[in-house]
């Protein structure tokens, strides 16, 4: 522990001795803590927090989205849950070409809507590792959806920025633009139909969402928009979440765990392995930013070319994390100049929520849920109140590509929970929001902790940068002299008008058992414990 500058204007880390919840929304954090107080475990708290956030942060997440989790039960191995949805059985490149699509799938197209995987994931996680009744876990979210909740400042800002997009769907506009405009901070907002859906799931489980009248209504609406979805596609997703083996790589004595493809966690591991060969602790700030940028371009180039549904990219993890591959990538970095832009032709991936929990028994969960773009596809079913994700927009329409759309296929995902272990103990569940930035964000955050010795909140609050689409995006808080240095090396500097992403983490200190929590000041949330 180091001294804290209370004149800096930034928040300090949160400390607790028994249990902690860290989310990007205060009501979600409170819901998670409430479940722990009722005797629930980390899984119960995570599901309750995510359900609340699906109501109170509707542009970032929802029951019409997807979910991934890393769960580390006390004394057990890290497990990965893939709760990402699949393309309809009729979704082929030819079918989409016949529907008038040429080289990409637009955000608002019904073909961007994959069958939502979040509810299957929540229910699978609960059935296998939860302790409290599902009805208890959903109760806070149901109450907020039915009775209303106060809109927080960051949510209000993002909501306002998406207003024009929401207006393009009459049903989404009815729900999310009351009186024709987005709610301001402090205004109350409710979604009674969403409350009904959550109540159905709490009572009857995932079948209430994926089968029967609710599924039939969702399918009918999607088909009215030109979608290829069928009731069988939804029914097949009832038990669609899969436990899979996580992937991992070492970094300076720690093991970093990520979900395997179809997630982009491999890109985070690639960046870490590349930069591990440099003495980052001794570098000046501009060198660190440059190194991160160059390693990011290398890792993301390979992500874009090689990652997709795991069935379509066998052995890619082992190949890219091999010593010869890492050495070859590392050798391409020139610390004096920026590389030519790597291939960038993925759509923007922006909107996600991440949370983590450590409970009193020592169980830890790293949990992420998303509807992809802000307000997903913007397509809202007026009969059920479900807002659909746009994850299918990341599919390629290129025959033979690992991420080419195909029947029942999962698209490449940007949302990635992370977990750090050392030996047989859990060190930290962590995650970074911000779409494409997430893999680069994982590496930058961990390097700040491990290489620079920062506390969690310092590591989260430092100015962010991201090499993307031939430019280097930097937050306005990046000092001007560092920006000038980077520009001299050939980086095309783009100063962002808004913050880049968000993050949460809970670090477990081995010597004392102390829990140190952080929640990104770029969002409304907080880390709280007891």
| Region label for 388, one of left (φ > 0), alpha (ψ between -120 and 50) or beta (otherwise) | beta
Confidence (pLDDT) at 2: 53
Q: Is residue 12 one of the residues assigned to a domain?
A: no
168 and 194 within one domain: yes
Q: Considering only CA atoms, which of 288, 249, 270 is closest in space to residue 459?
A: 288
pLDDT, tens digit, for every residue of 75-96? 899 999 999 999 999 999 999 9
Tokens of 86: 């699949």
Which residues, including other chains, have CB under 8 Å from residue 415's CB and lie 6 or more apart? 66, 68, 263, 352, 354, 368, 369, 370, 438
Shared domain for 176 and 194, answered yes or no, is yes
Main-chain phi, psi angles of 372, to 5 degrees: 80, -105
Is a pLDDT exceeding 90 seen at residue 340? no
* Spatial separation of the C-alpha atoms in residues 431 and 366, rounded to whole Å: 7
CA 56/CA 413 separation, integer angstroms: 23
- Burial of residue 203 (CB within 10 Å: 0-12, 13-18, 19+) is exposed
Q: What are phi and psi of 28, to 5 degrees?
A: -70, -45
- Three-state DSSP state, 442: helix
Which CA distances in Å does 155 have to 35, 151, 221, 524?
Answer: 24, 7, 28, 8
Look at residue 404 and tell me if it is in a domain.
Answer: no
Pairing of strands 364-372, 351-358: antiparallel
9 domain residue, yes or no = no
pLDDT reading at 258 higher than 60? yes
Distance CA 159, CA 283 (A): 39
At 341 the pLDDT is 45
C-beta of residue 110 within 8 angstroms of C-beta of residue 377: yes
Residues 341 and 385 in one domain: no
Asked if the structure places residue 21 within a domain, the reply is no
Asked whether residue 109 falls in the same domain as residue 220, the answer is yes
Mean pLDDT of 292-305: 91
Does residue 263 share a domain with residue 343?
yes
Rg (CA), the chain: 22
CA separation for the pair 361, 359 (Å, rounded): 5
Could you tell me which residues are beta bridge partners of residue 95? none
Provide the domain limits for residue 183.
29-243+378-394
Residue at which a domain ends, from 328, 361, 394: 394
Burial 365-384 (b: 16+ CB within 10 A, else e): bbbbbbbbbbbbbbbbbeeb
Residue 189 and residue 327 share a domain? no
Write down the pLDDT at residue 302. 85
pLDDT in tens, 466-493: 999 899 999 999 999 999 999 999 999 9
Tell me the whole-structure pTM to 2 decimals. Answer: 0.95
How would residue 348 be classed by pLDDT, with cut points 50, 70 and 90?
very low
pLDDT value of position 89: 98
Residue 79 lies in a domain: yes
Task: Identify the CATH number of the domain in which residue 311 sits.
Answer: 3.60.20.40
Q: How many CB atoms lie within 10 A of CB 281?
A: 12
Assess whether 253 and 219 both reside in one domain. Answer: no
- Last-in-domain residue among 325, 359, 394: 394
Give 118-139 pLDDT, tens digit per residue.
Answer: 999 999 999 999 999 999 999 9
Residue 518 structure tokens: 């952080």
Whether 268 shows a pLDDT value over 90: the answer reads yes
Strands (E) located in 338-401: 351-358, 364-372
What's the average model confidence in pLDDT over 220-247?
A: 97
Tokens 């001795």 identify what position?
A: 17
What's the CA angle centered on 246, arms 245 and 248, to 5 degrees?
135
Domain match, 421 and 480 both: yes
What is the tally of structural domains in the chain? 2
Question: Which two tokens mark 221?
Answer: 């609406």
Which phi and psi angles does 267 have, rounded to 5°?
A: -65, -40
pLDDT at 351: 60
Cα dihedral across residues 490, 492, 495, 501: positive or negative: negative
Confidence class for position 342, pLDDT limits 50, 70, 90: very low
The answer to whether 367 and 506 are in contact (CB under 8 A) is: no
175 in the same domain as 63: yes
Are residues 205 and 266 part of one domain?
no
For residue 55, tell me if it sits in a domain.
yes
Helical packing angle, 42-56 and 26-37, nearest 10° = 150
Q: Does the pLDDT of residue 320 top 60, yes or no?
A: yes
116 and 157 fall within a common domain: yes
> 305: Cβ–Cβ under 8 A, 6 or more apart, which residues?
343, 402
Quick: pLDDT tens for 155-176: 999 999 999 999 999 999 999 9
pLDDT the model gives residue 145: 98
**Which amino acids are annotated catalytic?**
352
Residue 401 located in a structural domain: no
Look at residue 343 in the predicted model and tell me its pLDDT. 35
Q: Does residue 517 have a pLDDT over 80?
A: yes
**Do 226 and 205 belong together in one domain?**
yes
Check residue 414 and give its pLDDT.
Answer: 87
Q: Has residue 177 been placed in a domain? A: yes
């Amino acid at each position: 522990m180091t001294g804290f500058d209370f004149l800096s204007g930034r928040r300090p880390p949160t400390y607790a001795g028994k249990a902690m919840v860290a989310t990007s929304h205060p009501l979600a954090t409170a819901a998670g803590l409430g479940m722990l107080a009722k005797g629930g475990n980390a899984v119960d708290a995570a599901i309750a927090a995510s359900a609340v956030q699906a109501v109170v942060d509707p542009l970032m997440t929802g029951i019409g989205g997807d979910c991934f989790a890393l769960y580390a039960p006390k004394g057990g191995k890290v497990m990965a849950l893939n709760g990402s949805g699949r393309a309809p059985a009729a979704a082929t490149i030819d079918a989409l070409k016949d529907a008038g699509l040429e080289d990409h799938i637009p955000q608002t197209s019904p073909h961007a809507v994959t069958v939502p995987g979040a509810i299957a994931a929540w229910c699978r996680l609960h059935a296998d590792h939860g302790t409290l009744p599902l009805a208890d876990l959903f109760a806070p979210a149901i109450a907020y959806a039915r009775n209303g909740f106060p809109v927080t400042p960051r949510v209000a800002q993002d909501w306002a920025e998406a207003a024009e997009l929401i207006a393009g769907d009459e049903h989404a506009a009815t729900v999310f633009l009351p009186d024709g405009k987005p709610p301001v901070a402090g205004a109350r907002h409710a979604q009674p139909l969403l409350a009904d859906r959550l109540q159905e799931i709490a009572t009857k489980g995932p079948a209430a969402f994926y089968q029967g009248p609710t599924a039939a209504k969702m399918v009918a609406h999607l088909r009215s928009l030109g979608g290829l979805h069928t009731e069988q596609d939804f029914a097949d997703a009832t038990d669609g979440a899969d436990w899979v083996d996580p992937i991992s790589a070492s970094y300076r004595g720690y093991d970093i765990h990520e979900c395997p493809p179809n997630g982009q966690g491999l890109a985070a591991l690639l960046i870490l392995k590349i930069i591990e060969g440099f003495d980052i602790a001794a570098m000046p700030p501009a060198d660190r930013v440059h190194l991160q940028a160059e390693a990011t371009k290398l890792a993301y180039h390979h992500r874009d070319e090689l990652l997709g549904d795991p069935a379509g990219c066998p052995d890619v993890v082992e190949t890219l994390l091999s010593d010869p591959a890492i050495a070859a990538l590392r050798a391409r970095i020139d610390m004096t100049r920026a590389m030519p832009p790597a291939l960038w032709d993925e759509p923007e991936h922006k909107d996600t929520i991440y949370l983590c929990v450590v409970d009193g028994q020592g169980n830890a969960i790293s949990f992420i849920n998303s509807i992809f773009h802000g307000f997903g596809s913007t397509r809202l079913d007026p009969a059920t109140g479900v807002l659909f994700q746009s994850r299918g927009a990341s599919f390629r329409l290129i025959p033979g590509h690992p991420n080419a759309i195909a029947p029942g296929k999962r698209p490449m995902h940007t949302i990635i929970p992370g977990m750090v272990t050392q030996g047989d103990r859990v060190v930290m569940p962590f995650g970074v929001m911000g779409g494409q930035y997430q893999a680069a964000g994982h590496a930058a955050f961990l390097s700040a902790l491990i290489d620079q010795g920062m506390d969690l909140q310092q590591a989260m609050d430092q100015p962010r940068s991201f090499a993307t689409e031939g430019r280097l995006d930097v937050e306005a808080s990046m000092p001007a002299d560092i920006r000038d240095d980077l520009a001299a090396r050939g980086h095309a500097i783009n100063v962002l008008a808004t913050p880049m992403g968000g993050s949460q983490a809970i670090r477990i200190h081995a010597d004392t058992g102390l829990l140190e929590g952080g929640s990104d000041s770029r969002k409304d949330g907080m880390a709280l414990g007891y």
